[in-house]
Amino acid sequence: MIRRLLARFSLRKKRPGYFSRFGGLWTDRDDADALTAQKLAQRTITPADAELIRRWRTDGYVILPGAVAPNVVDRINAEVETIWNTLDPRFRVERGGTQTALDPKARGAAAKLLDLYVYSPSAREAAFAPDLARFLQLVFERPTLLFQSLSFEKGSEQPIHQDAAYVVTRSPLEFAAAWIALEDIQPGSGELSYYTGSHRLPEHLFPGGTRNWHRKRHGEAVHAEYLAGLHTRSKAMGLSLDLFRPKKGDILIWSADLAHGGSPIADRTLSRRSLVCHYCPTDVQPFYFASNPRRSTVRAEGPGASYASLHYPVRD
């Protein structure tokens, strides 16, 4: 109980010197441009690193072409196929807010295979691909924890949203997400969509002054108002709603506050295979470490990289 109260208190602490009252990563600091220039002058980052950081700060995301090798993607797809063909009892899926064991009827549209990386070395290889791991180290400046993943076969058609409203960490904006393309994404497949630059929308607070929406405390009406407001505020700032049509192995990494979602599926015969991963610095920790301590085990995957899971046991 004490751990949960302390974790909740940390979500409300004001942090001056950042775009948000809740703080964030160093790239969210008011002086981040000066810090980037300083790092470049000290040669702790390269000009290519500095350009990625500039795009991250301006757009709220970066794209890493071909960051995952084709053979790794092929192994992931083969493993997912085996998981479904055997109805592997180790795995669970989430659909419409409900988690269930694998069922052939649950495969496909809106079904999310949870935390594939726990039992899949290939998924971990993709989730910690060198270019991806390096960028996360640049913006976290601390070891990286992979704490959640969702695997999709079809477009989610999820409304435009910000992850900070649902993904709860001890510091609400100190996390990032990666969208890994497991095939060439075709027009009309329900592509990932996002408002470029929307991570700098005026901050939305839910009742009680939190960044996280709670279904029971806040209710659906508050949620609907929030979702509609993302479009209104993005359009008021003149932001464009863009689509991600990557090639197999490309990665898009976005910040906690980028407004994004799944576009409508125009062609139901098309797949949109992807692996979405959520990361935070190891000292930040996902909220489930406090609410469900038995799921707080962390396993090292390599230098500066580790993973945990809310859904499955992880052995250290």
pLDDT digits (tens, 9 = 90+) for 7-22: 444 444 567 799 999 9
User: Residue 204 gets which letter from DSSP?
Assistant: P
Q: For residue 217, give Cα distances in angstroms to 13, 193, 227.
A: 20, 29, 17
H/E segment holding residue 93: strand 92-95
Q: Is the pLDDT of residue 24 over 80?
A: yes
Mutual orientation of helices 130-140 and 47-59 as an angle, nearest 10°? 70
Closest CA to 199 of 150, 139, 141, 250: 139
In a domain, 312, yes or no: no
Mean model confidence pLDDT for the chain: 93
Please identify which residue in the block is written with the tokens 């506050």: 257
Residue 202: which domain range?
Answer: 2-307
pLDDT at 9: 44
In a domain, 95, yes or no: yes
Q: Is the pLDDT of residue 242 over 70?
A: yes
In the chain, how many domains are there? 1
What mean pLDDT do residues 230-240 have?
97
Q: Is the pLDDT of residue 5 over 50?
A: no
In a domain, 200, yes or no: yes
Q: Is the pLDDT of residue 202 over 90?
A: yes
In a domain, 316, yes or no: no
| Per-position b or e across 217-229, b if 16+ CB within 10 A of its CB | ebeeeebeebbee
* pTM to 2 decimal places: 0.93
pLDDT at 98: 87
User: Residue 197 gets which letter from DSSP?
Assistant: T
In a domain, 198, yes or no: yes
Q: Of the ranges 39-53, 95-109, 135-149, 186-200, which one carries the lowest mean pLDDT score?
A: 95-109
In a domain, 139, yes or no: yes
CATH of the domain at 162: 2.60.120.620
In a domain, 123, yes or no: yes
261-279 pLDDT per residue, tens? 999 999 999 999 999 999 9
| Number of residues that make up the chain | 316
In a domain, 80, yes or no: yes
